[in-house]
Amino acid sequence: MQEKILNTATEMFLQYGFKSVTMDDIAEKLGISKKTIYAHYSTKNKLVQAAGSHLLQSISEGINKVRSRNLNPVIENFEIKRFVNQHLKGEKTSPHFQLKKYYPKIFNKLIEEQFNVLENCVEDNISRGIELGYYRKQIHIPFVCRIHFVGMMGIKDKEMFPLEEFSEGDLTEEFLNYHLRAICTEKGIKTLEEFKATS
């Protein structure tokens, strides 16, 4: 039952937002009493924390599957983006914004965990890209990893990038183009342009 509660809560938080969904909503969706949820998660905060960690774990596993395909490093960025976009819903409710605003301690802990996942992924991608000649040799890898992370987090800021003007999918695409053109060699840019022309 605990796993069922966690999966349903995560799905609802993504669809409607962390603040908007109540314990009553989750209980109603599952057809159980609120008391049953509290037997597994004594507060909504604990359920939000568990849902955030669960989501991050699922995304991390999916990213690792993409990485295990040993794709061209340039294209791998877009495949990871595609996977993440398919598994993160709620663009209109902005669960990221709600988590940051209403659950700042949980948000900060998850951001730290997320950085650890992304840093490992980006470091590996850049190292392979340099080795294969797609990325410039002079790249300062720790700096680029952090710039990549800050950029990906920054485009989720709905005050800076309001939904009326920018869709989340377009923002991620634009950011990846910006990021890759900064680190690619001519060979990498050629791959990027060919991929974009056919996707």
> What one-letter code names the amino acid at 100?
K
Rounded to the nearest 5°, which phi and psi values hold at 162? -60, 145
**Is 161 within the bounds of a domain?**
yes
Residue 36, in any domain of the structure: no
Rounded to two decimals, what is the model's pTM? 0.88
The total number of structural domains in the chain stands at 1
Instruction: Quick: pLDDT tens for 118-138.
Output: 899 999 999 999 999 999 999
- The answer as to whether 42 is a domain residue is no
In a domain, 70, yes or no: yes
In 88-185, alpha helices (H): 95-102, 104-131, 141-154, 168-183
Q: Averaged over 168-192, what is the pLDDT?
A: 95
What value, to the nearest 5°, has the Cα angle with vertex 70 and ends 179 and 78?
Answer: 35
Q: What's the pLDDT score for residue 103? A: 96
Mean pLDDT of 20-25: 95
Confidence of residue 93 (pLDDT cuts 50, 70, 90): low
* CB-neighbour burial class of residue 37 (10 A; exposed 0-12, middle 13-18, buried 19+): buried
pLDDT band at 159 (very low <50, low <70, confident <90, very high): confident
CATH number at residue 194: 1.10.357.10
pLDDT (0 to 100) of residue 167 = 84
> For residue 148, how many other CB atoms are within 10 A of its CB?
23
Among candidates 69, 97, 143, 91, which has minimal Cα distance to 78? Answer: 69
pLDDT reported for residue 70: 95
Q: Kindly state whether residue 61 falls inside one of the protein's structural domains.
A: yes
CA 9/CA 11 separation, integer angstroms = 5
Phi, psi values for residue 135, rounded to 5°: -120, 155
- Domain holding 161, by residue range, is 52-198
- Cα 77–167–82 angle (5° rounding)? 25
- Find residue 135's DSSP bridge partners: 184
Domain-embedded: residue 175:
yes
Per-residue pLDDT, 169: 78
Domain contains 8: no
Q: Quick one: pLDDT at residue 156?
A: 86
Q: Is 51 in contact with 13 (CB distance < 8 Å)?
A: yes
Between CA 41 and CA 8 the distance in angstroms is 13
Tell me the one-letter amino acid at 176: L
**134 closest CA partner among 172, 198, 181:** 181
Domain membership flag for residue 84: yes
